[in-house]
């Protein structure tokens, strides 16, 4: 078995925090610390690996079953662990407490072979709760800010906002929407895994 094939694929969860802004839909992006082994210096959404404790978090069974159907694996326990990880990671990295029912499945990305770390990451969109202001809270996050979504895409195109393919692809999918409500209504009912 090659070293590339031996890299364990870890389940992960990522949250695309959104809010309505005066100039259009806004997204919270965090710049990862340049000292990190994976995606150093890249702009990304709050998120990370699913921890064993996430499976112990109380998640309503009906919600877990709904999500399991969207992710096409039918595994409600795994869906519940991803939901718990998404909320936990968002709180740990940005201080934002999310209601699990506001997490909307959006995409699923699998890190391709050849990377030193591989993740099977489920992406959710969620409105940033009123009166909560995200801020960088861990050493993994160098900075964070709200970006008008279309301007973030333009900055990426100009080379001033480096992102991995899953991040920019998600932003490009969200560009057509004027507000959080319209993006939420457009969420897919079934999500296939994308390698990239």
Report the CATH number of the 3-195 domain.
3.90.79.10
Of residues 12, 101, 102, 89, the one with CA closest to residue 63: 101
Q: Is the pTM of this model over 0.85?
A: yes
Q: How far is CA 27 from CA 44, 150, 179, in A?
A: 10, 10, 11
pLDDT band at 2 (very low <50, low <70, confident <90, very high): very low
Q: In the 3-class helix/strand/coil scheme, how is 76-122 assigned residue by residue?
A: HHHHHHHHHHHHHHHHHHHCCCCCHHHCEEEEEEECCCCCCCEEEEE
Task: Delimit the domains of the chain by residue range.
Answer: 3-195
For residues 148-165, give the mean pLDDT.
95
Q: What is the Cα–Cα distance from 37 to 116, expressed in whole angstroms?
A: 9
pLDDT at 70 exceeding the cut of 70: yes
pLDDT tens for 113-148 read 887 888 999 999 999 999 999 998 777 777 899 999
Q: Which residues pair with 109 in a beta bridge?
A: 121, 194
pLDDT at 7: 86
Do the Cβ atoms of 172 and 178 come closer than 8 Å?
no
The dihedral of CA 175, 177, 178, 183: what is its sign?
negative
pLDDT band at 5 (very low <50, low <70, confident <90, very high): low
Tokens of 182: 């319209």
Of residues 14, 194, 1, the one with CA closest to residue 111: 194
Q: What is the Cα–Cα distance from 64 to 37, expressed in whole angstroms?
A: 32
């Amino acid at each position: 078995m090659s070293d590339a094939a031996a890299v364990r694929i870890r389940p992960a969860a990522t949250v695309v925090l959104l809010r309505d802004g005066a100039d259009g839909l806004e997204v919270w992006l965090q710049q990862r610390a340049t000292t990190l082994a994976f995606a150093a210096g890249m702009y990304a959404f709050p998120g990370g690996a699913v921890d064993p404790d996430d499976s112990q978090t109380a998640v309503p069974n009906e919600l877990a079953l709904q999500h399991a159907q969207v992710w096409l694996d039918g595994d409600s326990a795994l869906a519940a662990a991803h939901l718990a990880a998404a909320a936990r990671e968002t709180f740990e990295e940005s201080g934002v407490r999310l209601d699990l029912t506001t997490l909307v499945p959006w995409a699923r990305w699998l890190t391709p072979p050849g990377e030193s770390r591989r993740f099977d990451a489920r992406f959710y969109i969620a409105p940033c709760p009123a009166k909560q202001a995200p801020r960088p809270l861990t050493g993994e996050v160098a900075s964070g800010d709200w970006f008008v979504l279309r301007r973030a895409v333009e900055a990426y195109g100009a080379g001033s906002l480096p992102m991995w393919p899953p991040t920019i692809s998600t932003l490009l999918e969200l560009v057509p929407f004027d507000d959080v409500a319209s993006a939420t209504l457009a969420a897919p009912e079934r999500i296939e895994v994308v390698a990239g």
